[in-house]
Amino acid sequence: MTNTKIKFENVEFTYIPPSGRPVRALERLSLDVAENEFVSIVGPSGCGKSTLLYLLGGFLPLEHGEITVDGRKVSKPGPDRGIVFQHFALFPWKTVRQNVLYGLERKKMDAAQRDELAQKYIDLVKLTGFEDSWPAQLSGGMKQRVAIARTLVTDPDVLLMDEPFGALDAQTRGILQEELLAIWGLTRKTVLFVTHDVHEAVLLSDRVIVMSARPGRIKSTVNIDLPRPRNSEVTRSQNFASYCDEIWGLVREEALVASGIKT
Amino acid sequence: MKKLAIRYLPIALIILFWEFASRAGLVSQDVLPAFSAVMVRLWELSAGGEMLVHVSASLLRISSGLGLGIIVGSALGFLLAASITAQRLIQPTLTFLYPLPKSALIPVIIIWLGFGNSAQIMVIFLGSLLPIVLGAYNGAKGVENTLVWSARSLGANAIETEYQVIIRAALPDLLAGIRVALALSFVLLISSEMVGAQQGMGFLVAFLGDGGDYAGMFAGAFVISAIGFAADRAYLALYHHLLRYREA
Amino acid sequence: MVAQRKILNILMGAILPLAVIVLWEVATRERLVSPFLLPPFSRVMVRLWQDIVSGEIFSLAGQTFLRLAISYSVAVVVGVTLGIMMARVRFVRWVLDPVISIGLPTPKIAFLPIFILWFGVFDTPKIVMAIVACIFPLIAGTWSGTQGVDKYLVWSAQNLGATRRELLLHVIFPAALPQILTAMQVALPIAFIVVIVTEMLSGGSGLGGSMIEGARLADTARVFENLIVIGLMGFAFLRALQILRRRILAWHPEVLQEKN
């Protein structure tokens, strides 16, 4: 058995909207993620899957239960848990290079080393030549490449991805999925990946967690036993299709519950 | 109600502190008359009918000046938007005149029209004109072509199109321009009344101050603030009412 | 082709002002209008030239400019600071919120006699009046700019290790910059209007004081001369702010689109 990297224990969260009733987003949720494991979380809209990431990121206050990374309790945001958001969240007033440098500038390191490292990751996400562009001049896919480089360059212990390809068109999404697989092959980070795209989850992950409709709990876990290194070839296999079918069936049941059609 | 009370509590505290500072002699009554003394003067000036004379003189001026500004300004703005030639002819001049501090017109208008009502009305009219022209112009220019086309294709002729579609669609920008003009009008009204008039709120405040009636001067300044505030809020209510279709 | 178009546009734009000037000159030369109401344009220009040579106009404009520059810079620095403090410190927000909501739409110029009572008739009341008149949109604009900051940007900075101070400096302030600059563009004409009015009302020379004196002495050429100088200054200042905005917001889609 490999080491546990991330541990959720009896995590609960209630979201209080500015007006209206409190919403129970997560209920007694426990989950272990092993070191170097790529785990995806899928589930119907509003099931609290992003909330789970934000709690791990330390952006939301944990009211009940415990979250640990390498045995250390999570209490506030920190560069040990790098995150990539759906809508990129690049600093629009910083160039590509300045965005990638931002995390490094918060660390003690000499400037030459910083520049070299930033360039390495800009090259890795294939943005060579765009170092001095403003985010507003880039396409959605390119923006997300910058965000990925900005997060990876700080060498986080774990990588959190919040529907990172959800705002991109189908072709761009396909390309970035393959590149993420390649990058992951190089770095072997522990990844927690939230998506509502079942196909994407199966393609990328070692394990897919299906969450129930609100309040969010773990409905079931599916181990994806497909050979690595993977690329889009794998999607043509019979196994891939049956994994997708199985998970899609589980998600569909919950989506029906969430929309009030079935209880 | 309770929320409102908590929100405006700092104002109440400031007034309390003011009253205390003045009564306890922390500052001279000549420099800062007590809040209660100001209120007493406010009552005297209002009950004697003096305040009403000046308030109505000011209101007459601002409503005429701004009213004229709205009529002429929006007509000019729509005209400008409708004709490329008019734009090329007039726009550079407008761009140049727009940043002119309108208070600089006061002496010119005094030379032309003297110290009567017409002078203040003219200053307000000229001062409010450009923001309204710009509001109408931007609004009408920003109308999506598809809106105009769809109105035409539904059988509207050019004049109907202008009225039904362009003016309605330009309304948000036009109304925003008028709000800027409203604030500007008050500044120009009070300034021009202070510089040269025998009536009006600006005159009253300056006159009371010159005569050493400081409580009265504070009372006058508060009445002006209250009217300006009320006018802005009333306009805002009208604004939301006219644009209520956007909020649905 | 593009250059020709540009020249044509400039020529067409010049028609109206030139026509006004020609009409002005002819009407006054032919005595259709009394020179007291409107002196010939040429006489105003000669007057301006004389005052440029003697340096008189620079001394007047300098006084006005100094008052405007001091009051406007103080208002920008204090207003932006207060606006950011409103966003960060609950107590400041609690005190300033009602003050702003009442103070923003009221005509502050009504308090000028009070400031004259407090600060005398020299530079101080003029500067204080101009600060009070133009600081409200600056505070309100800065505050509202800090309100709309995307929470994911804040989270990203925190995630990359930003401290509270760095968050303010690197995220909240730059995110509020477009609205701060807009507020600065709104506040400048207000400060200018007020400086001119205070000069008219409480002496102390400057362009406003010179204008009102010209009106009293029936020296109409001087009034128009000063009006033209004030107009040029107003235009130049707003232009300068526009250029500053384009420099500072080089990253903003509004500027990037304009370039294309």
Question: How many C-beta atoms surround the C-beta of residue A72 within 10 A?
Answer: 11
pLDDT at C1 over 90: no
Domain count, chain C: 2
Predicted pLDDT at C82: 95
C246 lies in the same domain as C132: yes
Q: What is the pLDDT of residue C159?
A: 94
Per the structure, the count of domains in chain A is: 1
Residue A181 to residue A187: CA distance in whole angstroms: 10
Query: Which has more pLDDT, B25 or A68?
Result: A68
3-class DSSP state of B101:
coil
Answer yes or no: do B186 and C107 touch at CB < 8 A.
yes
Q: Which tokens sit at B198?
A: 């025998």
Residue A24 covered by a domain: no
Helices A140-152, A111-124: crossing angle, 10 deg rounding: 140
Shortest CA gap C191–chain A (Å): 30
Q: What mean pLDDT is predicted for residues A105-127?
A: 92
pLDDT of residue A19: 76
Domain identity same for C67 and C113: yes
Q: Answer whether C102 sits within 8 Å of B209, measured CB to CB.
A: no
Q: For C119, name the nearest residue in chain B, comparing CA atoms only.
A: B31
Instruction: Evaluate whether residue A262 is within a structural domain.
Output: no
Residues C4 and C105 in one domain: no
Any domain includes A4: no
Domain that holds residue B53: 38-247
Q: Are residues C193 and C146 in the same domain?
A: yes
Q: Is residue A150 part of a domain?
A: yes
Q: What does the pLDDT average to over B123-131?
A: 93
Q: Which chains touch A (3 or more CB pairs under 8 A)?
A: C
- Chain B CB contacts of C237 under 8 Å are 99
What pLDDT is stored for residue C63 in this prediction? 94
Average pLDDT, chain A: 90
Please report the pLDDT score of residue A224 as a whole number: 93
Phi, psi of B155 (to 5 degrees): 100, 15
Per the structure, the complete domain to which residue A140 belongs is given by 34-59+76-243
Query: Structural domain tally of chain B?
Result: 1
Q: How far apart are CA B245 and CA A223, in angstroms?
A: 52
Question: What CATH code is carried by the domain that includes residue A101?
Answer: 3.40.50.300
Retrieve residue B182's tokens.
């409203």
Distance of CA A52 to the CA centre of its chain: 11
With helix as H, strand as E and coil as C, how does chain A read?
Answer: CCCEEEEEEEEEEEECCCCCCCEEEEEEEEEEEECCCEEEEECCCCCCHHHHHHHHHCCCCCCEEEEEECCEECCCCCCCEEEECCCCCCCCCCCHHHHHHHHHHCCCCCHHHHHHHHHHHHHHCCCCCCCCCCHHHCCHHHHHHHHHHHHHCCCCCEEEEECCCCCCCHHHHHHHHHHHHHHHHHHCCEEEEECCCHHHHHHHCCEEEEECCCCECEEEEEECCCCCCCCHHHHHCHHHHHHHHHHHHHHHHHHHHHCCCCC
pLDDT at B247: 61
Q: Diameter of chain C by CA atoms? A: 77
Sign of CA dihedral C230, C232, C233, C239: positive
Cβ A134–C251 below 8 Å, yes or no? yes
Q: Is residue C105 within 8 Å of B224, Cβ to Cβ?
A: no
B86 lies within 8 A of chain C by CB:
no
Residue B221 lies in a domain: yes
Name the residue type at position B152: R
- DSSP letters spanning C143-202: HHHHHT--HHHHHHHHHTT--HHHHIIIIIHHHHHHHHHHHHHHHHHHHHHHHHHHHHHH
**Domain limits for position C121:** 40-259
Q: What is the mean pLDDT of residues C31-53?
A: 90
Chains that touch B (3 or more CB pairs under 8 A): C
Verify that C106 and C60 share a domain, yes or no: yes
In C, residues 143-162, which contact A (CB 8 Å cutoff)? 150, 152-153, 155-162
CB C160 within 8 A of CB A106: yes
* Terminal Cα-to-Cα distance of chain A (whole angstroms): 38
Of A166, B58, B11, residue with least CA distance to C103: B11
How confident is the model over A129-156, as pLDDT tens digits? 999 999 999 999 999 999 999 999 999 9
Indicate whether C139 and C240 sit together in one domain. Answer: yes
B203 close to C (CB below 8 A): no
- By C-alpha distance, the chain C residue nearest B225 is C106
Query: Do C22 and C140 belong to one domain?
Result: no
pLDDT band at B165 (very low <50, low <70, confident <90, very high): confident
pLDDT attached to residue B162: 64
Closest residue, chain B, to C206 (C-alpha): B104
Asked, for residue A207, whether it belongs to a domain, the answer is yes
Rounded distance, CA A191 to CA A201, Å? 12
Q: Which residues contact A112 (CB under 8 A, 6 or more apart)?
A: none
Q: Are residues C28 and C111 in the same domain?
A: no
Taking residues B117-133, report their average pLDDT.
92
For residues C65 and C127, is the Cβ–Cβ distance under 8 A?
no
Contact flag C253-A136 (C-beta cutoff 8 Å): yes
Structure tokens at C159: 């995630």
Looking up residue B61, the CATH number of its domain turns out to be 1.10.3720.10
pLDDT surpassing 80 at residue B157:
no
Chain A touches chain C, with at least 3 Cβ pairs below 8 Å, answer yes
User: Residue B143 pLDDT > 70, yes or no?
Assistant: no
For chain C, report the end-to-end CA distance as a whole number of angstroms. 18
CB atoms within 10 A of CB B17: 12
